[in-house]
Amino acid sequence: MKKTLTFVVNVLVVLAIFFVGFAYGKQSIPAENFVYDVQNPDVGKPDEVDFGIFWNAWRMVNELYVKPTDTDSKTRVYGAIKGMVESLDDPYSTFFTPEQSQDFQESINGRFEGIGAEIGIRDGNPTIIAPLKNSPAERAGLRSGDRILLIDETSAIGMSLEQAVTIIRGNKGTPVVLTVLHDGDTEPSEIRIIRETINIPPMEYTVLKSKDGNIGHLQVYNFNDQLEQEFRRVTKQILSSDVKGLILDVRDNPGGRLDIAISFISWFVDQGDTVVTERGRNPEDEIVHIAQGPAKLKEIPVVVLINEGSASASEILAGALHDLRNVELVGEKTFGKGSVQTYQALPDRSSIKITTALWFTPAGSSINDTGLEPTVAVENVDEEEGAAEVDEQLEKAIEVLEREIGSNK
C-alpha cells in the first residue's frame, strides 16, 4: 500500500455509495505515525478563524468534565474533525478513523462480506440504491428506493451514510434485520438478511427475437474491472452476428469506476466526443473526459433501460448516449448521484473523503440530486401487487428499438 495516499477516486459509487460489506484486503497499511496525544503542527491556519474558541472549549472539557477517563485526547480530536466535515451537510463527505480507513480501503481492493446492496442518502436518510445481482439483499426482498428506518434495533433516521454502512456490514453467516419503507407503502416491512460473501457479475448478454430480427440485451450490473474484458468478448460476438440493435440495461446498476464507464461508452460514440465534464469549485479545475474509441458500435441502434437504482456511472452512460446520439432512455427516473470524491490520508492513518466536483453530461445537464428523466416513461409493477410475470420496461425497450431499427432501413 503506498504511503502517499492522496488521490482523486474515480470509483464513483464505491467511494460515494460503497458496498455494504466487510472487505478482506490483500495489503496492509504500515503501522506508524499514530497520534498518541494532541500535536500542533503549523499547516497553515486560516487568519479569519478564531481558534481561541476551540481551545477554550478544549480546556473546559479537559478541566471540568465529570468523567475525565471516558475519552482520550485522540478521540476528542477525531470527534472535532468529524463534526467539521458533517457541518458540510454532504452525505458523501466523511472523516474516517484509522480503523475505518483500513476497512474502507479494503472495501475497494478486497472481497466483500455483507448483504450486497448499495446505499445512498435521499432526503437525509439512508436509502437502498440497488440490491446487487443475486445478493442476499436481493433474495431477501430489498428494493431500489427502500428507505431504511431501523438497522436491527437502531434508528436509521438522520443517520449518516458511513454510520449506516458500518452497522449493516458484518461477517458471513451473521444476520441483520432492516426495517424499511418500500416506495408507495404506508407500513414498514421487516427484512432479515444473512450476510454472505458478495461476488458481483459484471454483465450478462442474451439475444432476443424480434419482428425485425435479433436484438442484443446487455445487462450491465457494475462498471468494475471485470466488465472491460467481458465486454470485449461480447463485442466480438455482436460484430460477427446478425444483431440489429442493442438494449443497454443499467437498471439497478449503482455505478463503479469512471474510467471503465468511459471505456464502455467509447464503443458507442465517436472518438474525441465529450463523454462527461467534471467541474470543481474553481473554473480552472474543470476536467473534460473524452471518448477514446474504438467506436465500433457507434452505428448500431441502441436503447438504454434505466430506473431509480441506476446511479453514478450508469447515469453518465445514459446521459452521454442520450446527448451524443439522441438514444431513448426507457424506464424510470435515475437516482441522481453525480459527484466525485477526493480521498486523502492524514499522517496518523485517519483520512478524509470529501466531495470536490460534480459531473455534467455532454449537453451540460447536472446529474447530481436531480437524476435523469426517461424519454419513454414506464413503471414496472411489483409482482406482489398482482403484476403478470412480464418485464414491462424491457418490452417497451424492445418496441422502441424495433421502431429505431425500422427507421434506419
* pLDDT (tens digit per residue) in 379-406: 976 545 544 468 999 999 999 999 999 8
Which is catalytic among the residues 82, 244, 298, 337?
A: 337
Which is catalytic among the residues 103, 146, 212, 323?
A: 323
- pLDDT for res 308: 92
Task: Report the alpha-carbon angle 336-89-151, nearest 5.
Answer: 75
Q: Per-residue pLDDT tens for 73-102?
A: 898 999 999 999 999 999 889 999 998 888
Residue with cell 436509502: 127
Contact call for residues 109 and 14 (beta carbons, < 8 A): no
Highest mean pLDDT among 141-145, 177-181, 207-211: 177-181
Q: Per-residue pLDDT tens for 306-345?
A: 999 999 999 999 999 999 999 999 999 999 999 988 889 9
Residue with cell 474502507: 104
Question: Which residues neighbour 344 within 8 Å (Cβ) at sequence distance 6 or greater?
Answer: 5, 6, 351, 352, 353, 354
| Number of C-beta neighbours around residue 223 at 10 A | 33
Contact call for residues 350 and 366 (beta carbons, < 8 A): no
Q: What are phi and psi of 390, to 5 degrees?
A: -140, 140
Residue 369 among the catalytic residues: no
pLDDT > 90 fraction of the chain, expressed in percent and rounded: 61
pTM for the whole structure: 0.75
- pLDDT for res 22: 30
The Cα–Cα gap between 310 and 313 comes to: 8
- Among the listed residues 149, 110, 82, the one whose alpha carbon sits nearest the alpha carbon of residue 19: 110
Q: What is the pLDDT confidence band of residue 44, given thresholds at 50, 70 and 90?
A: low
Query: Sheet of 213-220: strands edge to edge?
Result: 203-210, 213-220, 245-249, 302-306, 328-331, 376-377
Residue 366 among the catalytic residues: no
Angle (deg, nearest 10), helices 313-325 and 258-265: 30
Query: What is the DSSP-derived secondary structure letter of residue 11?
Result: B
Contact call for residues 351 and 4 (beta carbons, < 8 A): no
- Burial environment of residue 389 by CB neighbours within 10 A (0 to 12, 13 to 18, 19 or more): exposed
What sign does the dihedral 58-60-62-68 (CA atoms) show? negative
Q: What is the pLDDT confidence band of residue 409, given thresholds at 50, 70 and 90?
A: low
Domains of the chain, start order: 112-198 (2.30.42.10), 203-407 (3.90.226.10)
- pLDDT for res 41: 53
Residue 337 among the catalytic residues: yes
Q: Tell me the residue type at 229.
A: Q
Contact call for residues 105 and 172 (beta carbons, < 8 A): no
- pLDDT for res 261: 95
Contact call for residues 167 and 152 (beta carbons, < 8 A): yes
- Among the listed residues 155, 132, 102, the one whose alpha carbon sits nearest the alpha carbon of residue 13: 132
What stretch of H or E contains 9? strand 7-9
The Cα–Cα gap between 191 and 178 comes to: 5
Question: Which residues neighbour 33 within 8 Å (Cβ) at sequence distance 6 or greater?
Answer: 347, 348, 349
Cis peptide upstream of residue 41 (ω within 30 degrees of 0): no
Query: What is the DSSP-derived secondary structure letter of residue 340?
Result: E
- Residue 12, pLDDT above cutoff 70: no
DSSP characters for 219-278? EE--BSHHHHHHHHHHHHHHHTS---EEEEE-TT---BBHHHHHHHHTTTS-TT-EEEEE
Which is catalytic among the residues 263, 266, 312, 339?
A: 312
Q: What is the pLDDT confidence band of residue 194, given thresholds at 50, 70 and 90?
A: very high
Distance of CA 353 to the CA centre of its chain: 14
| Number of C-beta neighbours around residue 140 at 10 A | 17
Q: Output the average pLDDT for the chain.
A: 85
SS3 of 338-354: the string is CEEEEEEECCCCCEEEE
